A and B are shown apart, each in its own frame.
Chain A
Amino acid sequence: MTAPVSLVGTVGIGRRIRDAAFRGLLYAAVGVALGTLLVLLVDTVNQGRPKIGMDLYRNFPSARPARAGIQSAIYGSLWVVGLTAVMSLPLGVGTAVYLEEYARRDRWYTRLIELNIQNLAAVPSIVYGILGLAFIARGPLGWGPTIRTASLTLTLVVLPTVIISSREALRAVPPSLRQGAVALGATTWQTVWRQVLPGAAPGISTGSILAVSRALGESAPLLLLGGLAFISFNPPAGPAALESPYTVLPIQVFQYATDARQEFHVIAAATIVVLLAMLLLLNGAAIAIRNRYQRKW
Chain B
Amino acid sequence: MRYTKHGRSRALPAMAVSLLLVTAACGSDDEASGTAAAPTGESAALTSLEGAIRMDGSSTVAPVMKVAAEDFQSATGNGVTVTVGVSGTGGGFEKFCRGETDISNASRPIKGGTPDKPGEKEACAANGIEYAELQVANDALSVIVNPENTWARCLTMGHLEKMWRPDAPVGNWKDVDPAFPDKPVKRFGAGTDSGTFDYFTEAVNGKGGVVTKDYNPSEDDNVTITGVAGDEGAIGFLGLSYALENKSKVTAVQIDGGNGCVTPNAETVQSGAYAPLGRPLFVYVSTKAAARPEVKAFVEYYFDNVDAITKEALFVALTAEQKQKALDAAEAAGI
Q: Which residues of A contact B312 (CB under 8 A)?
A: 63-64
The interface stretch among B67-75, B269-277, B293-301 is B67-75
Q: Which residues of A contact B56 (CB under 8 A)?
A: 229
**1/0 contact trace for B46-61 toward A, CB 8 Å?**
0000001010100000
Contact of A47 with B by CB under 8 A = no
Contact of B40 with A by CB under 8 A = no
Q: Which residue from A199, A204, A241 sits with its C-beta under 8 Å from B7?
A: A199
Q: Which residue from A201, A233, A235, A285 sits with its C-beta under 8 Å from B12?
A: A201
Nearest neighbor of A265 in chain B, beta-carbon distance: B222
Q: Are B28 and A289 in contact (CB under 8 A)?
A: no
Q: Which residues of A contact B31 (CB under 8 A)?
A: 234
Contact of B215 with A by CB under 8 A = no
Q: Are B86 and A228 in contact (CB under 8 A)?
A: yes
Count A-B contacts at CB 8 Å. Answer: 151
Interface size on B, residues (CB 8 A): 57
**1/0 contact trace for B1-44 toward A, CB 8 Å?**
00110111011101101110111011111111101000000000
Contact of A48 with B by CB under 8 A = no
The interface stretch among A75-83, A111-119, A123-131 is A75-83
The interface stretch among A3-11, A16-24, A30-38, A205-213 is A205-213
Could you tell me the distance in whole angstroms from the C-beta of A27 to the nearest C-beta in chain B? 35
Contact of B303 with A by CB under 8 A = no
**A233-B78, A261-B245 given as contacts; is B22 within 8 A of A205 (CB)?**
no
Complexed CA–CA distance, A32 and B12 (Å): 41
State the majority secondary structure of interface residues on A: helix
Q: Are A85 and B19 in contact (CB under 8 A)?
A: yes
Complexed CA–CA distance, A292 and B11 (Å): 10
Q: Which residue from B12, B22, B100, B241 sits with its C-beta under 8 Å from A282?
A: B22
Complexed CA–CA distance, A79 and B27 (Å): 8
Contact of B66 with A by CB under 8 A = yes
Interface size on A, residues (CB 8 A): 57
Contact of A188 with B by CB under 8 A = no
Q: Which residues of B contact A205 (CB under 8 A)?
A: 14-15, 17-18
Q: Which residue from B25, B67, B85, B87 sits with its C-beta under 8 Å from A78?
A: B25
Could you tell me the distance in whole angstroms from the C-beta of A127 to the nearest C-beta in chain B? 19
Q: Kindly list 7 other residue pairs between chains A and B, CB separation below 8 angstroms, not including A64-B70, A289-B17.
A: A59-B33, A75-B26, A194-B7, A212-B22, A229-B84, A230-B62, A260-B246
- 26 A-B pairs, CB-CB below 8 angstroms? A59-B33, A63-B67, A64-B312, A86-B19, A194-B7, A195-B3, A197-B11, A198-B12, A201-B12, A204-B15, A206-B18, A229-B56, A230-B62, A232-B32, A232-B33, A232-B73, A233-B73, A237-B28, A245-B54, A245-B81, A258-B221, A258-B222, A260-B246, A282-B21, A285-B17, A286-B18
A-side residues, CB < 8 A to B, are 59-60, 62-64, 67, 72, 75, 78-79, 81-82, 85-86, 89, 138, 144-145, 177, 180, 194-195, 197-202, 204-206, 208-209, 212, 226, 228-237, 241, 245, 255, 258, 260-261, 282, 285-286, 289, 292-293
